[in-house]
């Protein structure tokens, strides 16, 4: 094998590369601004960029968690209130069954079995409504609440406080706490002074 000459220019290339790298660590050219930055300045700049990138990642994670939470809430609301329209359609049936029971009052032996059947049907309806968290709003004797009641008329009544529900013309209903139909009520007002 031939000995390699240490003075030969090909052997100086690795040394030149090491010296160039050392020089590059002292002064680095910033391509965007055309500025020459020292290694410490470059490190500080990179640390700032890293901090900024971390903040952006944290914000993106928070945004994705917020979107997921909102989606869960929307799904929960949809699940809770999916029956609202169906419930609205069933309520007149319940009203009619209640009216049929009111009309069937008496000791007539022919009507008695029919009234019992209607009563059992109405009880089954009420049980089904409770099962799906549909609650009755029947506020007789309670203070008038415009969130749940619809006043059909006001009547002077000295026996109860003003703005008290004295009669319910049609029961109201809520689904999971949300009003489906307000109770139609008659409300008391104070005695007119003479």
Structural domain boundaries in the chain:
33-80, 83-189
pLDDT at residue 191 greater than cutoff 80: no
> Hey, CA dihedral for 177, 180, 182, 184, is it positive or negative?
negative
Give me the chain's average pLDDT, please: 82
What DSSP state is assigned to residue 143? B
Query: Which tokens belong to 13?
Result: 């290339």
How large is the average pLDDT for residues 94-122?
A: 88
Q: How far apart are CA 8 and CA 3, in angstroms?
A: 11
Arithmetic mean of pLDDT, 162-182: 92
The domain defined by 83-189 folds into Nucleotide Exchange Factor Grpe; Chain A, domain 2 (2.30.22)
Residues 167-178, buried b or exposed e (16+ Cβ, 10 A)? ebeebbbbbeee
- Measured CA to CA, the distance from residue 57 to residue 158 in angstroms comes to 68
pTM of the model: 0.59
pLDDT 10s digits, 31-86: 455 567 788 888 999 999 999 999 999 999 999 999 999 999 988 888 777 888 88
- Nearest Cα to Cα of residue 180 among 100, 74, 83, 58: 83
Over residues 151-170, the pLDDT tens digits come to 999 998 878 888 899 999 99
Tokens linked to 140:
């007789």
């Amino acid at each position: 094998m031939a000995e390699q000459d240490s003075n030969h220019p090909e052997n100086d290339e690795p040394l030149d590369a090491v010296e160039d790298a050392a020089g590059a660590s002292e002064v680095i050219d910033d391509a965007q601004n055309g500025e020459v930055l020292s290694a410490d300045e470059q490190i500080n700049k990179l640390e700032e960029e890293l901090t900024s990138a971390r903040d952006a990642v944290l914000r993106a994670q928070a945004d994705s968690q917020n979107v997921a939470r909102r989606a869960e809430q929307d799904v929960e609301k949809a699940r809770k209130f999916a029956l609202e329209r169906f419930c609205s359609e069933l309520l007149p049936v319940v009203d009619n069954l209640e009216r049929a029971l009111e009309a069937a009052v008496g000791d007539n032996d022919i009507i008695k079995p029919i009234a019992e059947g209607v009563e059992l049907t109405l009880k089954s309806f009420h049980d089904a409504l409770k099962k799906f968290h549909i609650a009755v709003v029947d506020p007789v004797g309670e203070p008038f609440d415009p969130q749940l009641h619809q006043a059909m008329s006001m009547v002077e009544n000295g026996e109860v406080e003003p703005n008290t529900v004295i009669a319910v013309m049609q029961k109201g209903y809520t689904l999971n706490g949300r009003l489906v139909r307000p109770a139609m009520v008659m409300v008391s007002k104070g005695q007119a002074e003479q």
